[in-house]
Chains A and B, each alone.
Chain A
Amino acid sequence: MTPGARTGLEIGGAIIVAAVAAVYLPQLLELFALINATVWVSMAVLALSLGLVWGFGGILCFGQTAFFGLGGYTYAVASINFGDTTWAVPLALLLPTLLAAALGYLMFYGRISDVYMGVITLTTTLILFKFANSTAGDQWNIGEAPLGGFNGIPSTPPLNFPFAPDQQMVPEQIFVVAVICLAACYAIAKMVLRTRFGRVCVAIKENELRAELLGYDVRLHKLALFALSGLMAGLAGILFANCVFVSPTMFSLSYAGQVIIWVLVGGIGTLVGPVIGCVLVQWLTTYAGTLSWIDPNLLLGVVFMAAVLLVPKGLLPTASGLLAKLTGRGAA
């Protein structure tokens, strides 16, 4: 099978899974569970955005939540002021992309090394967390939208159909939109990685110096991939704002750390792995919350340590490796 055909098959598979989920889950799940599922899907988009930039660009962004939170806040503020989400969505995609581009420009063109990149991105999200927390009071209103400090913006309007502010979507429709967005992000990431640009990004991750010596502008490629991941994280923020209200928690250290865990558990260097890792860990978190005999955070910590020690490559690459061995393709 040619790589192009394989990519087509993988995208086709994702579309089928997304279509089945979009059709059947709204019928099967109760409202609370469906909203919860929408949160997981929005988080999966966030995990995918980090999986792309970390797994295929070698850029450890510890502050992916900066773009996630900015997407959510921009969407909330713009939709409240416009009274319509039609233009709020592109604006909420644009600002995180611009922030990622600006931050990426400073880091990549400033030749910042990998470790410091993690520190800078984490610091960025923590600065935004602090700032968002300090925006209580009328002086922090943007137009009609109060930033709300610690409480955030509880009155975030749900998505409406384009140019029809009176026709707001119900949770079932928002779930379908979220699933479509996840499938679209996966397909876009897959297709981007098939292009020359994507292959150069992977090559840069493998060996930055060699890619540069072959005549590729390493900094520009990293910047473009980083901006794309910022856009996806912003989209995740918009979806999240549609099922959970916007608050400084979106920028928090706990969220920033969780995304890293999802990608590590699912598998770096894959696109489906982070999505699986996200859903599994989210499910485990929810399940652990129902148990009275164990602290959920303790359980999560143990699971994370076990994952790192037992399946250091992540669940998906480990499972793929086992499958390849069983079918005899792993011999080489």
Chain B
Amino acid sequence: MTTLLSTEGLTMRFGGVTAVDGVTLSIDAGELRCLIGPNGAGKSTFFKCLTGQYKPSAGRIFWRGQDVTGRDSFALARLGIGIKTQVPSLFDGLTPMESVGLALRRLHGEAESRRRARRALDRLGIGALGERRIGLLAHGQRQLVELAMVVAPEPDLIILDEPTAGMSAEETNRAADLIRELNREHAIVVVEHDMHFIRAIARKVTVFHQGKVLMEDAAGRVFADPRVRDVYLGKAVA
């Protein structure tokens, strides 16, 4: 299996605080990986290092074997990494069609971008909202619009930071179905702490605790592991 993204000893320090501490992991093509951990485990900092929003203090990031450590977000996106942030990051003054079209214009001409944008919105079930102003949409719809922008350029890898944040139970179930469907064509990394959602989608799980990888294994074994339960319930981990 081809390794798409990997890290070696990735470390991020803020003054005296080490938020991510020597994390080494790799994501293969076609994989669906969940990164979990309680609040403060270092997941989001790790996400920001992976996506170029933070420059790591130490360690390396590789994309298809090439060292991409310290590259800007736009450069990483151009490699074929689609990135969805925790709080929907959208163009509120534009319509979904314009926004998704813009995501595609870097790669395609005007007409083709519009055609693909329409298809992406339809695929996510929000085709009817295409001409509405994004600022007027509900939270769940905004999440889907952002997902459409991420998915439309057909990236090799999609990294999602808490994709169900603020979603209703019904929307979360739909998001789980959607992620499984997207995983047929894209490798996906989901950074999440909603365990119900993780159970619904997870195959392989990496557990973060205090900035380090506590364990990495198949979903079933991870959820059965007493150390993981202790981490979530606040008990000390040996």
Contact = CB atoms under 8 A, between A and B. Distances in A.
Interface stretch (B87-95, B180-188, B204-212): B87-95
B91 A210 contact: yes
A212 B91 contact: no
B74 A218 contact: yes
A28 interface: no
Interface residues of B, number: 25
A325 interface: no
Contacts of B132: 332
Contacts of B93: 202, 206
A212 B72 CA distance: 9
A209 B74 contact: no
A31 B51 CA distance: 62
B85 interface: yes
Nearest to B133: A332
Interface stretch (B24-32, B99-107, B163-171, B215-223): B99-107
A200 B77 contact: no
A215 B77 contact: yes
A214 interface: yes
A55 B207 CA distance: 45
Contacts of B90: 206-207, 210
B91 A206 contact: yes
B4 interface: no
A214 to B, nearest CB: 5
B149 interface: yes
Contacts of A214: 74, 77, 102-103, 106, 149, 153
A199 B77 contact: no
B102 A203 contact: yes
Nearest to B134: A206
B119 interface: no
Interface string B41-75: 00000000001010000000000000000001110
Contacts of A329: none
A216 B91 contact: no
B105 A196 contact: yes
A119 to B, nearest CB: 25
A137 B185 CA distance: 73
Contacts of B78: 215
B83 interface: yes
A206 B92 contact: yes
Nearest to B82: A213
A2 B107 CA distance: 23
Nearest to A217: B74
A213 B73 contact: yes
B102 A200 contact: yes
Interface string A321-332: 000000000001
B96 to A, nearest CB: 13
B91 A213 contact: no
B193 to A, nearest CB: 22
A203 B90 CA distance: 9
Given A199-B102, A214-B103, A207 B92 contact: yes
A215 B89 contact: no
Q: Which of B51, B73, B98 has the most CB of A within 10 A?
A: B73
A17 B84 CA distance: 46
Given A214-B77, A214-B149, A216-B74, A199 B89 contact: no
Given A196-B105, A200-B102, A213 B92 contact: no
A151 B133 CA distance: 53
Q: Which of B51, B91, B149 has the most CB of A within 10 A?
A: B91
B102 A213 contact: no
A38 to B, nearest CB: 36
Given A196-B105, A214-B149, A203 B77 contact: no
Contacts of B98: 199
Nearest to B98: A199
Interface of B: 51, 53, 72-74, 77-78, 83, 85, 89-94, 98-99, 102-103, 105-106, 132, 146, 149, 153
Given A199-B102, A203-B94, A207-B90, 12 more contacts: A202-B93, A203-B102, A206-B91, A206-B93, A207-B92, A209-B53, A212-B72, A212-B73, A214-B102, A214-B103, A215-B78, A217-B72
Interface of A: 196, 199-200, 202-203, 206-207, 209-218, 332
Closest 5 CB pairs of A and B: A215-B77, A206-B91, A210-B89, A215-B78, A212-B73
